[in-house]
Amino acid sequence: MVGVSFYTLWLLLSLIAVVHLLIYKREPSSTIAWLFFVTVVPIFGALLFLIFGPQRLERGASKRRKEIEKLVRAPTAILPLAVSGEVDINAGLPAEDTAVLRLARQVSDYGVTTGNGVELLSDPHHALLAMQSAIEAAEHFIHLEYYIISNDEVTAALFEYLVRAAERGVEVRVLYDAIGSLSLKRIYFRKLIQAGAKIAGFLPFSLIPQRINFNFRNHRKILIIDGHTAFTGGTNIGRQYLGRRNKSQWHDYSVKITGPVCLQLQDVFAKDWHFTTQEDLFQSSYYPQARAAGDSITQVLESGPDTAFATLHQALFLAINSAQYEILLTTPYFIPDPAIMFALTVAALRGVRVRLVLPLKSDAPLVRYASRSFYDGLLRAGVEIYEYQPRILHAKLMVLDQKWTMLGSANMDIRSFRLNFELNLLIYGNSVASQATQLFQMDLAQSQAVDPEKFRRRPIGLQMLENACRLLSPVL
């Protein structure tokens, strides 16, 4: 009887997993790998698939946002036009550049905004001070959304600023990822809640089938102040992210933004908050009239398992293919899919100088080994690879042809492209590109070039380890 029950359970779980795999389109290699694992490993394989396998998530907030978007052009529009980013991008821009912007508009909820001020912040400690100063100046609302909020004195200090803001009547909302911030203790919430702030955890673990999946993590980092000032990037909140000289610290970037694009960031928060709490922030009071604050052309690229297109993946692919002479790329987790690998290789072969700064040290050793398995093909094509030496590299930055800059929360891996909720900024302009290039050059000066001949002669055992880790790349 026990054997029959075990067999029945195995068949039932395997059938559920197989049906899901065949209904929802995935890459053939991924589908075959999961089918093999589900059918060969009794029960455990199917359970793992149900936890880590699904790649789609439906959110009522997206539907609600689309309903609101229809009203943007109405005489009584709820949201300002800057949210959709419907501006003329033809004036003064070369055709190849408008093509990138138009493609990004097609695959994203947001279009191009002009009149933005962009300040790249290479020192996380300075970025934290700037955030605290902006919180002190808040008058109406503060919306904070982070993947990791650590359980330490840095969080305690930042929350004190939020408490003081709430006590003087500012609306404060904090959204954290329930898995990424799993160590965050409730004691940090007490004062905030007492002061009137609202706090919510994004997709906590649940037995409800739609929410059991560990894949769908909110990897975004956003702080919006009154709809006019915002911060984003790759830096989480915590002691280890301050980037001090200690070698155990992490190296990362943030960006401070002022201008119309802040309303797009506010809209991203509104959708995530609605999904988590059902509170509707699609109100005109949270979308103030846009103010010009600079000359940068900027667009929000929002991506996640609830979007129709792999926004970041497709925008990145086109941007790489549009490069004429230079691609500078810094990323901590480098596991490119075939399309991105092909784009980088072809770019180098057609004469574009492609330089990658990747980590020597990593908090995820399996990812680093998998990443190194891609070096051979890139080096043969002429791509220059450098490994950052001093600290744990966590920065994500790309500069193309000294005019395009892309930075944000997304890594160059399958998880960021398809499974996590991510947010990057696509910025057009020589001024910001010049800032970004200086940051890249500073990292390059602290990196060691990978010699193609020496790398080719590395021990066979190490090559086998790298290739074995590469097989795990769809779930890393």
76-93: pLDDT as tens digits: 455 666 676 655 666 567
> What is the number of residues in the chain?
476
Question: 280 phi and psi, to 5 degrees?
Answer: -90, 110
Q: Smallest Cα–Cα separation from 408: which of 261, 308, 240, 305?
A: 261
CATH code of 60-80+117-293, in short, is: 3.30.870.10
Active-site residue, selected from the candidate residues 177, 337, 401, 413: 401
Q: Smallest Cα–Cα separation from 301: which of 431, 448, 471, 111?
A: 111
Active-site residue, selected from the candidate residues 394, 403, 413, 443: 394
User: Is there a catalytic annotation at residue 401?
Assistant: yes
Q: Which residues contact 52 (CB under 8 A, 6 or more apart)?
A: 213, 214, 215, 475
**Among 33-42, 87-96, 132-141, 198-207, where is mean pLDDT lowest?**
33-42
Mean pLDDT of 131-146: 97
On average, the pLDDT of the chain sits at 83
User: Is there a catalytic annotation at residue 295?
Assistant: no
Percent of the chain residues topping a pLDDT of 70: 76
Active-site residue, selected from the candidate residues 109, 143, 177, 226: 226
User: Is there a catalytic annotation at residue 219?
Assistant: yes
Q: What does pTM read for this prediction?
A: 0.85
pLDDT, greater one: 99 or 429: 429
Residue 200 has pLDDT above 90, yes or no: yes
Domain ranges of the chain: 2-52, 60-80+117-293, 311-475
Active-site residue, selected from the candidate residues 219, 271, 274, 361: 219
Residue 138 has pLDDT above 90, yes or no: yes
Task: HSE, CB side, 13 Å, CA atoms: give it for residue 463.
Answer: 9
Give per-residue pLDDT as tens, 313-357: 888 898 899 899 999 999 999 999 889 999 999 999 999 999 999
Mean pLDDT of 61-70: 54
Band of residue 192 on the pLDDT scale cut at 50, 70, 90: very high
pLDDT, greater one: 68 or 271: 271
Same fold, 60-80+117-293 and 311-475: yes
User: Is there a catalytic annotation at residue 396?
Assistant: yes
**Among 34-48, 236-250, 265-279, 338-352, where is mean pLDDT lowest?**
34-48
311-475: CATH topology is Endonuclease; Chain A (3.30.870)
Mean pLDDT of 45-50: 60
User: Is there a catalytic annotation at residue 394?
Assistant: yes
Alpha helices in 168-260 (DSSP H): 187-194
Question: Containing H/E element for 313?
Answer: helix 311-322
Do 238 and 157 meet the contact criterion of CB atoms below 8 Å apart? no
397-400 vs 404-408, strand pairing mode: antiparallel
Active-site residue, selected from the candidate residues 20, 143, 221, 361: 221
pLDDT computed for residue 76 by the predictor: 45
Most confident of 12-16, 205-209, 459-463: 459-463
Distance of alpha carbon 108 from alpha carbon 298, whole angstroms: 13
As beta bridge partners, residue 135 has none
Q: Smallest Cα–Cα separation from 244: which of 78, 57, 390?
A: 390
Give per-residue pLDDT as tens, 152-162: 899 999 999 99
Amino acid at residue number 338: P
Active-site residue, selected from the candidate residues 396, 403, 413, 443: 396
Do 332 and 297 meet the contact criterion of CB atoms below 8 Å apart? no
Q: Which residues contact 187 (CB under 8 A, 6 or more apart)?
A: none
Most confident of 50-64, 391-405, 459-473: 391-405
Percent of the chain residues topping a pLDDT of 90: 48
Distance of alpha carbon 14 from alpha carbon 182, whole angstroms: 31
Residue 3 has pLDDT above 70, yes or no: no
Do 476 and 335 meet the contact criterion of CB atoms below 8 Å apart? yes
